[in-house]
Structure 1
Amino acid sequence: MALSEHLETKLKKRYEPSSMVSMKYKGNDLAFKTDDEGNAILLFIGKKDSEGHIKGERYARRLKKDDEGKVIKDHWELKGKAT
């Protein structure tokens, strides 16, 4: 399952650095980890269980920058099931 453009736009925003952010999106639960700059880098999407863990899919973001800090590669990759 590829991420929708609307979801990717939401994930491109800056959030609190080095934290775990949770939210709802179109009936699914989202949880994502941010790097030290506040970029989402690890995404869990699915349904939360009774313990608060998300069962669904896990995505990792490849965010590559050049020496000047300009983004040259920004891609989300499906890594498998999240349990």
Structure 2
Amino acid sequence: MELKEPVRKVLNKIYEPDSMIEKPFKKYHMAFKTDELGRPILLFLGKKELDGRIKGERFSRRFKTDNAGVIIKDHWEHKGKAT
């Protein structure tokens, strides 16, 4: 499973560092954790349960950088079901 462009647009923005952010996205709910620079690195996408958890899919972001810290590759990896 791959993330579509509308989801990637939301995830390419910078948010509050080291936080968990929840947003509605079309008919789904989206929750993502940000790193120390405010970049989303962990994503949960699906339906929100009554207890606040999101049941759906889980994704993890990987960055490949060079020696100077410049991002060479930015990749979202599907990690399976989120319960």
Q: Give the alignment's TM-score, normalised by structure 2.
A: 0.94
The CA RMSD over aligned residues, in Å, is 0.9
Q: Does 1:42 align with 2:75?
A: no
- Provide the rounded CA distance (Å) in 1 between the counterparts of 2:18 and 2:53: 19
The residue that corresponds to 1:56 in the other structure is 56
**3-state SS of paired residue (2:75):** strand
Runs (5+) with no aligned partner, structure 2: none
Q: CA deviation at 1:37?
A: 0.3
For 1:1-83, what aligned pairs fall within 5 Å after superposition? 1-83=1-83
Q: CA deviation at 1:11?
A: 0.2
- Provide the rounded CA distance (Å) in 2 between the counterparts of 1:59 and 1:7: 12
Percent of matched pairs sharing the same residue: 55
- Provide the rounded CA distance (Å) in 2 between the counterparts of 1:39 and 1:45: 17
- Provide the rounded CA distance (Å) in 1 between the counterparts of 2:47 and 2:63: 26
Runs of 4+ in 1 over 3 A off after TM superposition: none
Residues matched between the structures, number? 83
- Provide the rounded CA distance (Å) in 1 between the counterparts of 2:64 and 2:41: 11
Q: Which whole-Å deviations, capped at 9, do the CAs of 1:34-72 have from their partners, x for residues lacking one? A: 000000000000001000000000000011222223211
Q: Give the alignment's TM-score, normalised by structure 1.
A: 0.94
Runs (5+) with no aligned partner, structure 1: none
